[in-house]
Structure 1
Amino acid sequence: MKNKLLFSTIFAIMATIFIFASPGTTKASMLEMEAQGPEVTALQQELIQMGYLHTNATGYYGPATTQAVRQFQSDFGLIVDGAAGMQTDHRMNEVTSVAKAVYGEARGESFEGQIGVAAVILNRLESAEFPNEVNGVIQQQNAFTAVADGQYNMTPDQTAYEAVKQAWKGYDPSYGSMYYYNPEEVTSDWIWTRTPNLSIGQHVFAS
């Protein structure tokens, strides 16, 4: 697991320990088997969108939801316990943020090309030249066209989520690239100073 992703996981675990050890904290922050209510419904809707839950959102945390959470935790390097606490919630938010960027930037590209875009985001997360958390990388000024033009706010499809999963597991068809661009739509000459690694679809991936 990449260093910053590992740090993110450790941070989330420590935050969970702190909050649950604090006086006055309710159990609403932890969803697990037999929980019910709107928070469970919201979780189920996210899992359905990501392709992990294949039933309707019922608002009841039963075996199907538990298994969906367990699979998500396994895929994204978390402790696999089937309970949706702060650590899982934090990781789900990170994954959704990357999926939104992938969908906004590359939904017309091949699956390989979409994985490449996700990999670039994770590669930046590992670099000291970029912010050290997912939203910081994505929201960095002028970093992604989709953020600037609002396409980032579109709802990602399951292909975008699957691309993020493959990149998170370590598959990097961009070969460590930190940048990508469409040579037909370049608006800054600066990008030409980057070293091209390869092209996937309409995007050139570069270091």
Structure 2
Amino acid sequence: MVPFFTISNQHHDAKAFSNQVIQRGATGDDVIELQARLQNIGFFNGKIDGVFGWGTYWALRNFQEKFGLPIDGLAGADTKAKLVAASNYNRDFVMGQIKKGNDFTYYGGVDINKQIKTNSSSTKSNSTKPNTANNTSNVTASNVPNGYSQNDIRLMSNAVYGESRGEPYEGQVAVAAVILNRVSSPSFPNTVSGVIFQPGAFTAVSDGQIWLTPNKTAEKAVMDAINGWDPTGNALYYFNPATATSKWIWGRPQIKQIGKHIFCK
């Protein structure tokens, strides 16, 4: 389908997105808005279900290419701002259809009332089992320790695996702890995604290893760090002395070495 940019009478919601970087594997309200906005201007043809899968990923990349943005399949601040400016989002309509279990689309230039296929069995089915679509928007609110979303935990697991797989378990917890210490520090972004995707901050982001599928050990290391284990002594930096080329990092006050990494203030 060729993307189109017709501005319709659909409501533009001024309150758009949270501040997280939205990535493949994410779920919840931000993904619902992302899918709806991409569909509104013709880039996304799939079901608006709040699950960031491959269809959403490629739709986002196509949008980025069309609008002259870096093509990385990540909905960061610049991509979200451009998408908000180019599209409309009627949150009440979209969330309402999901909660009702209706099949619907959200293409711009088409009367939204003509894009609904009512699920006549939804009322009956709701009395016997949970409505999966209705629960989608609440996914990020479940099993969230200390205010960290499931997307935060998933992204940290990716970073820990990409940065420190092969290190002793304590060293993997240490990498997760550094991320959390940066989130808490006024010298760094105050979100997990902001810290991890800060330019030049992590080798795994630069070389693409951030997108490797993390193992259970990395996930457990993240949870241990979130639950308070910081083997680094409040470090904000770490480096591998065998590979580090920056003179600046060698000048940071060193706290300790765990595995191959030296952790610094």
Q: TM-score range by the shorter chain?
A: 0.5 to 0.7
Structure 2 letter corresponding to 1:184: A
Q: Distance in 1 between matches of 2:160 and 2:245?
A: 20
1:77 and 2:143 equivalent?
no
Structure 2 letter corresponding to 1:110: P
What displacement does 1:27 show?
7.0
1:103 and 2:161 equivalent?
yes
Alignment of 1:120-135 (within 5 A): 120-135=178-193
**Aligned with 1:26 (options 91, 96, 115):** 96
Alignment of 1:157-196 (within 5 A): 157-196=215-254
Alignment RMSD: 3.1
Q: Deviations over 1:69-120 (max 9, x none)?
A: 96x34xx135xxxxxxxxxxx7010111111110000011011100000000
| Paired position in structure 2 for 1:201 | 259
Q: Distance in 1 between matches of 2:154 and 2:97?
A: 24
| Paired position in structure 1 for 2:46 | none
- Is there any run of 5+ residues in structure 1 with no aligned partner, and where? 1-7, 9-14, 44-68, 79-89
Relative to the length of structure 1, the TM-score reads 0.63
Structure 2 letter corresponding to 1:195: P
Identity %: 42
| Paired position in structure 1 for 2:87 | none
2:255 is paired with a residue whose SS is strand
- Larger RCO: 1 or 2 (CA < 8 Å, sep 6+): 1
What displacement does 1:35 show?
2.6
Alignment of 1:37-56 (within 5 A): none
Q: Give the structure with the higher percent helix.
A: 1
Alignment of 1:50-65 (within 5 A): none
Q: Which runs of 4+ in 1 moved over 6 A?
A: none
**Aligned with 1:142 (options 189, 200, 203):** 200
- Is there any run of 5+ residues in structure 2 with no aligned partner, and where? 1-18, 20-28, 34-90, 100-125
Q: Distance in 1 between matches of 2:182 and 2:247?
A: 21
Q: Distance in 1 between matches of 2:92 and 2:167?
A: 50
Relative to the length of structure 2, the TM-score reads 0.50
What displacement does 1:23 show?
3.5
Q: Deviations over 1:110-154 (max 9, x none)?
A: 111000000000000011110111111001111101110110110
Aligned residues: 148
| Paired position in structure 2 for 1:57 | none
Question: Which one has a bigger Cα radius of gyration?
Answer: 2
